[in-house]
Amino acid sequence: MHRRDFLLRCAGAAAAAAAGCGVPATAEPPRFRLSLAQWSLHRALQAGELTTLDFPARAAAHGLEGVEYVNSFFKNKADDESYLSELRRRCEDAGVRSVLIMCDGEGELGAAAAADRRRAVENHHRWVRAAAFLGCHAIRVNAGGPGGRDELAPRVVESLRALCDFADPFGIDVIVENHGGWSSDGGWLAGVLAAVDHPRCGALPDFGNFRIDGEHEYDRYRGVAELMPFARGVSAKSYDFDPVTGEETTIDYGRMLAIVLGAGYHGFIGIEYEGRRLTEDEGIRATRRLLERYRTGSA
């Protein structure tokens, strides 16, 4: 093993161990923990009003325990140890944990050509290393590619297995989100994950993102239920809220969280606000208030 990779593994293990410190063994475990998906602030980030280095403090200001990065907001920094060290320090100062990195734009794991699939897998290697350095438990990848569901599935299975083999020594899970195309068919994606059959492979069920194409939308509650047996994270998508009840107007959060908790999941649920009516910070607060009601059982 290269010395650099060894150091990254050690750094990730140390950060992960530190994240679990300070909680009494007898403490009542929460129903779930709350993190902030960086995409919730994509307008501010794209406008240059916020940077990835500012992100941990913003999450802490919202009273959230964890951060979920999007690689496009620090695309050229995956191999920059000085930058990653500063980001890790910012998390420590803010008292938040790095949970995962959502990876986009690194090639299609289900590409038709074998060489393109290998390149896509290799493009994700740097994010595995970055995730380990930051103390994340996973990277989120996409199961995209051309062709019908039957021809795409074995290509994605092959790539996911190869990427999981690479990620395993780093202690990093490779989790797939329902994120358009056939991946938004919950049954198809669950079948792919079962076929990968690797202890590092899992799912990131998203309450939204179930549109397969311009005409077909998969039932979101069925899809989440199908993916929860593989869940290593959950993304609480939100768009808008009833001003009186505080409930999300598109998604039945009570029904969704019954599915999540019914599957025995008690890990991080990431807030991912995508609405336009509220500001990004208002949308994050509204989503957190709603999730808190279900976390405390007051809903």
Residue range 34-49: mean pLDDT, rounded: 98
pTM: 0.91
Question: Smallest Cα–Cα separation from 156: which of 201, 192, 115, 202?
Answer: 192
Q: Note whether residue 139 is domain-resident.
A: yes
Residue range 20-44: mean pLDDT, rounded: 77
Residue range 168-179: mean pLDDT, rounded: 98
Band of the pLDDT at 4, cuts 50, 70, 90? very low
Residue range 208-220: mean pLDDT, rounded: 94
Q: Note whether residue 4 is domain-resident.
A: no
More confident residue, 187 or 7: 187
Residue 237 pLDDT: 98
Residues of the chain above pLDDT 70, percent: 90
Residue 299 pLDDT: 67
Band of the pLDDT at 18, cuts 50, 70, 90? very low
pLDDT at 26 over 50: no
92-112: pLDDT as tens digits? 999 999 999 999 999 999 999
Residue 297 pLDDT: 81
Number of other CB atoms surrounding residue 240 within 10 Å: 16
Task: Indicate the length of the chain as a whole number.
Answer: 299
Residue 172 pLDDT: 98
Residue 8 pLDDT: 52
Residue 15 pLDDT: 43
Average pLDDT in the chain: 92
**Looking at 6-10, 73-77, 205-209, 229-233, which range is the least confident one?**
6-10
Residue 9 pLDDT: 47
For the chain, the domain total comes to 1
pLDDT at 169 over 60: yes
Q: Note whether residue 58 is domain-resident.
A: yes
Residue 45 pLDDT: 98
More confident residue, 89 or 18: 89
Output the CA angle 166-167-171, nearest 5 degrees: 140
Q: State which residues form the domain around 136.
A: 31-296
Coil, strand, or helix at residue 97? Answer: strand
Question: Smallest Cα–Cα separation from 71: which of 136, 160, 151, 1?
Answer: 136
pLDDT at 182 over 90: yes
Q: Note whether residue 256 is domain-resident.
A: yes
Residue 29 pLDDT: 73
Q: Note whether residue 16 is domain-resident.
A: no
Sign of the torsion formed by the C-alpha atoms of 148, 154, 156 and 159: negative
Q: Note whether residue 235 is domain-resident.
A: yes
Which amino acid makes up residue 212? I
Band of the pLDDT at 28, cuts 50, 70, 90? low
Q: Note whether residue 114 is domain-resident.
A: yes
Residue 107 pLDDT: 98
Sign of the torsion formed by the C-alpha atoms of 12, 17, 23 and 26: positive
CATH code, domain with 290? 3.20.20.150
The torsion of the CA quartet 235, 129, 166, 269, rounded to 10 degrees, works out to -10
More confident residue, 125 or 1: 125
Q: Note whether residue 126 is domain-resident.
A: yes
pLDDT at 14 over 60: no
Residue 27 pLDDT: 59
Taking the chain, what is the end-to-end CA distance rounded to the nearest angstrom?
51
Band of the pLDDT at 138, cuts 50, 70, 90? very high
Q: Encode 164-202 in three state secondary structure.
A: HHHHHHHCCEEEEECCCHHHHCHHHHHHHHHHHCCCCEE
